[in-house]
């Protein structure tokens, strides 16, 4: 059985209960009753609620040289945090991809490398599935969107990442660094579906789901 933890405000409980009426297989209580699994082709829906998110809080090894993260996403959101990866005890080091006006922005915050790079020409908030790959090699890294390489081998000098989050910031990281604060500049919370998450380091703990539902 998968376990999930919830910390819900009264407002979220109301939203959650109304979801239950229309989506009876949504996760509820303290346990997942549904088949939600972000590592599988069964997609997880991140809701347009501030706390809604999915995270991998403990990777089996640091996401460093040679490591790859890939996943598929589908959204109609104009903006929001798609994913970020950071280091335990060193929250300055962050690599993220955010949505801005329907375009992806690749943000690198390492002590000796810094960039904000918009992926040009592809509006990704078209409600279709897209594949994103982030891979590190030596002091560099690349992102691939739908199999097309962008910003070939850009400098990413951060130490090894220890967690990966989708849709929102973990309360453990909130306020922890200027790099984390910058993930919040988006006017809206990401809303959309995530599936087939593949982290080459492996994971030590099951995915952590907060206020998510099945994606239909």
Q: Which string of x and - marks every residue 38-77 that binds ligand NAG (by CB under 6 A)?
A: ------------------------------x-x-------
Nearer to ligand NAG, 45 or 136 (CB): 136
What DSSP state is assigned to residue 198? E
Report the residue number, 42 or 70, with the smaller CB distance to ligand NAG. 70
Number of residues that this document lists for the chain: 216
Nearer to ligand NAG, 68 or 170 (CB): 68
Alpha carbon of 75 to those of 28, 72, 129, 134, 141: distances in Å? 23, 10, 8, 19, 25
Footprint on residues 83-102 left by ligand NAG (CB under 6 A): none
| 5 HSE (CA, 13 A, CB side) | 6
Shortest Å distance, C-beta 39 to ligand NAG: 8
Smallest distance from the beta carbon of 70 to ligand NAG, in angstroms?
Answer: 6
Alpha-carbon distance 196 to 61, whole Å?
Answer: 19
d(CA 69, CA 95) in angstroms, rounded, equals 12
* 200 near ligand NAG, judged by CB under 6 A: yes
Q: For residue 194, give every residue at least 6 positions away whose Cβ sits within 8 Å of its Cβ, in sequence order, or none.
A: 38, 43, 44, 46, 54, 71, 72, 73, 166, 167
We find the least distance from the C-beta atom of residue 69 to ligand NAG, in angstroms, to be 8
Name which of 88 and 137 has its Cβ closer to ligand NAG. Answer: 137
Rounded (5°) CA angle 37-38-42: 65
Residues 147-176 that bind ligand NAG (CB under 6 A): none
Contact residues toward ligand NAG (CB under 6 A) are 68, 70, 198, 200
């Amino acid at each position: 059985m998968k376990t999930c933890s919830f910390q819900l405000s009264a407002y979220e409980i109301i939203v959650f209960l109304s979801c239950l009426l229309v989506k009876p297989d949504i996760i509820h209580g303290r346990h997942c009753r549904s088949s939600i699994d972000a590592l599988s082709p069964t997609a997880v829906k991140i809701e347009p609620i501030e706390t809604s998110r999915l995270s991998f809080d403990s990777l089996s090894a640091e996401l460093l040289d040679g490591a790859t993260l890939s996943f598929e996403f589908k959204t109609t959101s104009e903006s929001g945090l798609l994913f970020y990866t950071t280091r335990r005890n060193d929250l300055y080091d962050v690599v993220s991809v955010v949505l801005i006006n329907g375009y992806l922005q690749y943000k690198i915050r390492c002590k000796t490398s810094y960039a904000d790079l918009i992926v040009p020409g592809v509006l990704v908030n078209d409600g279709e599935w897209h594949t994103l790959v982030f891979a590190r090699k030596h002091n560099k890294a690349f992102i691939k969107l739908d199999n097309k390489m962008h910003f070939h081998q850009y400098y990413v000098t951060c130490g090894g990442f220890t967690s990966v989050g989708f849709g929102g910031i973990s309360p453990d990281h909130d306020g922890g660094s200027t790099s984390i604060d910058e993930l919040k500049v988006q006017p809206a919370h990401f809303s959309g579906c995530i599936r087939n998450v593949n982290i080459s380091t492996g994971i030590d703990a099951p995915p952590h789901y907060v206020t998510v539902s099945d994606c239909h």
